[in-house]
Structure 1
Amino acid sequence: MRAIDLFAGAGGFSTGAVQAGCTVVWAGNHWQAAVDVHAANHPHTEHACQDLQQADWRAVPAHDLLLASPACQGHSPARGKEKPHHDALRSTAWAVVSAAEYHRPPVLIVENVPEFSDWALYPAWQLAMEALGYALAPMVIDAANHGVPQHRSRLFIVGTRSKHPISLKLPQREHVPASAIVNFDAGAWSPIRTAKRSPATLRRIHQGRRDLGCGRFLIPYYGSGSGLTGRSIHRPIGTITTVDRWGVVRGNRMRMLRADEARAAMGFPGDYQLPAQHKAAMHMLGNAVCPPVARDLIASLLEAA
């Protein structure tokens, strides 16, 4: 099956598609750094760095499967106060309609945060897709149920050119704990109690020690949506975001999660190439699709076809 990847980012959707047996023939993204990372890991894919809302779909190869991850920042509850640029981010979803109108692939999958379906224009977007002949099957999937060592719930909308939405039976895999991806012998550790450490961080660490009764655990480094205490390493980590979110505590020292650990937490292969700069790597990983989720979803699609 030939696939294309819209808003491809670091390439999680593409990686999962390849693992499921697809050939990714084209990938597009507006950020050159992300295109470079995707190209380094998928050298046989044709790449385009452009605003996909302005794309000439005649230049995109024919395909059987359209994968798309429109910007989620305008829908996510973690975005904070409403900002003007969120309108532009939400509108990226219309590029999926434009691509599907021209190519009419048999199957498409759109990924976003669950709040995407609360978008004021979601009913119009859904009607547009249905007008093109697609029956939509939305499903919220937690990556932890697919062997990813991270709780990450995302909306996947499967569109098929059929009379009725497709019904898929997805595998339910055993949860993998954070201990599988955190290396307590690596990284730049610092004392927990320093003059620059915020009182809120110290409270979370104190609460984590009390609640978990151990000296090794994770803490959310900022409060919004992350809780106020520690998180056991014997369960999947919480959602990896585009900025440093998770601190690792070891006795009286701590550090932030490393990019290679975040890569493992997202389910990417250990040899998957990332930017050398930590900030850029974390940004791409936080925006990515977990490859094992994409793999299981596409494999189930192929089985049902």
Structure 2
Amino acid sequence: MNAIDLFAGIGGNTEAAKMAGLDVVWAANHNPIAVEFHSLNHPEAIHSCQDLQQADWSQVPAHNFGIASPCCQGHTDARGKEGPHHHKSRSTAWAPVSCWEYHRPEVFLIENVPKFLNWKLFPQWKSCFESLGYSLSINTFDAADSGVPQNRERVFIIGTQSKNPIEISIPKRPHVGVNSIIEWDYARWSLIEKPGRAAATLERVKNGRKRFGDRFVMPYYKSGSGKTGRCLSRPIGTITTKDRWAVVDGDKMRMLNINEYRKAMSFGDHIKLPKTRTPAIQLLGNATCPVQVRDVLKAVKKAI
């Protein structure tokens, strides 16, 4: 089956599609850096760097399967105290509607944060697809249940040209702890007790030691995972576009490195990323977890 990937980012959905036996023939995103690295990782696809709300869908290849991950920033609480913000990112959800009004694929999959379902315009958005003859199946899964070493809950909306929504189930795998991705021999550690270390950081380290001993992970900035961090046998908390997770080992600590972030997102070592830390983490935090989406896509293929 041929597929297209809207809001493709660095390629989490495309990686998943390939693992599930789909051929991604076209991928698009508005971010030039994301398109550059998606092209490096998936040179077989046609790439487009554009605002998809302005797309000419007649120029997009015909496809049986549509995949899209519209911007989630307008719905998520990942911005902390600021909360979700309302700007044009919310309106990106209308691009798949217009695309699949034109192409009418047999099936599509749309991924977003669970609070997407609380969007005031969600009922109208859903009814647009129903007007086009699609039945929508709405499912929420945690990436950790697919064996990804990260708790990352996402909603997956499946549209099919059928009388009733399809029902899918994905196997629940054992949770994988964050210890599986930590590179303990990585060189760039610093002493915890050093001049300038924030009091809040030292307090989190102190609390973490009481609960977990000498080794654990914790949010370096703000809170998350309470004020004690997480034990290494648990999946890490949600990876975002901000560099915020640190690992503690005895009297030293450091931020997670790019390769550890990549593994936490379930990307393979073959995936190329920017060499600069900030854009690499931004691309990873904006991505989907390929292993999780693979499981969903396989379940969809089985159900249809």
What aligned pairs does 1:244-263 form with structure 2 within 5 A after superposition? 244-263=243-262
Query: How much does 1:208 deviate?
Result: 0.2
Q: In structure 2, what is the Cα distance between the partners aligned to 1:83 and 1:262?
A: 24
Give 2:114's aligned residue.
114
Give 1:186's aligned residue.
186
Query: How much does 1:224 deviate?
Result: 4.4
Query: How much does 1:87 deviate?
Result: 2.3
Give 1:26's aligned residue.
26
Report Cα offsets for 1:131-176 as digits up to 9, x if no partner: 1111111111100110111111011111111111110121111211
Give 2:136's aligned residue.
136
Report Cα offsets for 1:249-301 as digits up to 9, x if no partner: 01111100111101101111122111111111100111111001111111111
* Pair 1:278 & 2:272 matched: no
Give 2:82's aligned residue.
81
Q: Which moved more, 1:228-237 or 1:28-37?
A: 228-237
3-state SS in 1 of match to 2:88: helix
Report Cα offsets for 1:26-59 as digits up to 9, x if no partner: 0000001000110111010000000000000000
Q: In structure 1, what is the Cα distance between the partners aligned to 2:187 and 2:154?
A: 30
Give 2:287's aligned residue.
288
CA 1:31 to 1:187, structure 2 compared with 1: closer, same or farther past 3 Å? farther
Query: How much does 1:130 deviate?
Result: 1.0
Which amino acid in 2 is paired with 1:284?
Answer: L
Q: In structure 2, what is the Cα distance between the partners aligned to 1:224 and 1:59?
A: 46
Give 1:14's aligned residue.
14
Q: In structure 2, what is the Cα distance between the partners aligned to 1:8 and 1:21?
A: 17
Query: How much does 1:242 deviate?
Result: 0.4
Q: Contact 2:207/2:228 (CA < 8 Å) preserved in 1?
A: yes
Give 1:267's aligned residue.
266
Gaps of at least 5 residues in structure 1 are none
Report Cα offsets for 1:175-196 as digits up to 9, x if no partner: 1111110111104111112222
3-state SS in 2 of match to 1:77: coil
Give 1:54's aligned residue.
54
Q: In structure 2, what is the Cα distance between the partners aligned to 1:145 and 1:184?
A: 25
Q: In structure 2, what is the Cα distance between the partners aligned to 1:111 and 1:98?
A: 17
Q: Contact 2:77/2:83 (CA < 8 Å) preserved in 1?
A: no
Q: In structure 2, what is the Cα distance between the partners aligned to 1:196 and 1:140?
A: 42
Q: In structure 1, what is the Cα distance between the partners aligned to 2:83 and 2:97?
A: 25
TM-align CA RMSD: 1.2
Ranges of 4+ aligned residues in structure 1 off by more than 3 Å:
none
Give 1:237's aligned residue.
236
Normalising by structure 2, what TM-score? 0.97
Gaps of at least 5 residues in structure 2 are none
3-state SS in 1 of match to 2:89: helix
Which amino acid in 2 is paired with 1:268?
Answer: F
CA 1:224 to 1:251, structure 2 compared with 1: closer, same or farther past 3 Å? closer
Query: How much does 1:230 deviate?
Result: 2.1
Query: How much does 1:83 deviate?
Result: 7.8
Which amino acid in 1 is paired with 2:82?
Answer: K
Query: How much does 1:197 deviate?
Result: 1.4
3-state SS in 1 of match to 2:156: strand
Report Cα offsets for 1:192-219 as digits up to 9, x if no partner: 122221111111110000011x211101
Give 2:158's aligned residue.
158
Q: In structure 2, what is the Cα distance between the partners aligned to 1:152 and 1:301?
A: 20
